[in-house]
Amino acid sequence: MTTPLICPSILASDFSKLGEEVRAITEAGADWVHIDVMDGHFVPNITIGPDVVKALRPHSNLPFDCHLMISPVDSFLEAFRNAGADYISLHPEAGPHLHRSLKYIRQLGAKAGVVLNPATPVEILDWVMDDIDLVLVMSVNPGFGGQSFIDGQLKKIEVIRKKLDAVGHHAILQVDGGVNAANAHLCVEAGATAMVAGTAVFKGGPSAYAANIKQLKGL
Ligand code: DX5
Ligand code: ZN
């Protein structure tokens, strides 16, 4: 089994010292920095915008993985790319033209991701397979950190794994929400290649980050 990429969600970090937190997870062995962007409209919470992403950019050389939970989304894609986003993922429900949005993300020079909410059918992927670099399976309903993993989403990961393998697609298959040391191996067994974790990485403060990340990797 391959070692999954660990993408700490800075939503669970200490917002009063975001730069330090990003440096700390970078030094602790994180693979990507997952940035949850919420607008109080598409999801019932508000977090950070492109200016904060830009301010964090000098603090790490890791890929910035921006998970956009905002609607409308298209008008903000360029701003996130300019701020330093390497991966930009969006929800199909966040805009009227998923295919156009994905094309635009790639045109901007970023990698494009589609995020599936717990109730979003996997078939939404079928006609955008050539336009995606990442599929993100939400294992909680988006909006908040610290929620419980929805076990039924493991089946969805398996189905998408098969779908990708059937056509030799190398998209990253990421899972987000309630991921912890107890369920991380189940995600990997189901076919996930990247895991977002907020609470499970940031618990215990900076001195615990390296061990937390190692544990999630199953090392
Ligand atoms: C939820 C976010 C997740 C979340 C993960 O809307 O997309 O990234 O912050 O946090 P934990 O790992 O605490 O569930
Ligand atoms: Zn997220």
pLDDT in tens, 107-148: 999 999 999 999 999 999 999 999 999 999 999 999 999 999
177 C-alpha to ligand 2 centroid (Å): 7
Q: Does the beta carbon of 179 lie inside 6 Å of ligand 1? A: yes
Q: What pLDDT shows up at residue 48?
A: 96
Output the CA torsion 174→77→18→211 (10° steps): 10
Mutate to test the pocket of ligand 1, among 140, 195, 201 (most ligand atoms within 8 A of CB): 140
Task: Measure the CA angle with vertex 18, ends 95 and 148; round to 5°.
Answer: 60
The residue segments making up the domain with residue 19 are 5-217
Residue ranges of the binding site for substrate? 9, 67, 143-146, 176-178, 198-199
Mutate to test the pocket of ligand 1, among 6, 90, 149, 199 (most ligand atoms within 8 A of CB): 199
Task: Ligand 1, residue 178: give the atom nearest the CA.
Answer: 14
Q: How far is CA 94 from CA 12, 40, 67, 180, in A?
A: 24, 13, 12, 28
Q: Does the beta carbon of 143 lie inside 6 Å of ligand 1? A: yes
pLDDT in tens, 21-68: 999 999 999 999 999 999 999 999 999 999 999 999 999 999 999 999
Residue 142 structure tokens: 């988006």
User: In this structure, which ligand is nearest to the CA of 47?
Assistant: 1
pTM: 0.98
CATH code assigned at 204: 3.20.20.70
Number of domains in the chain: 1
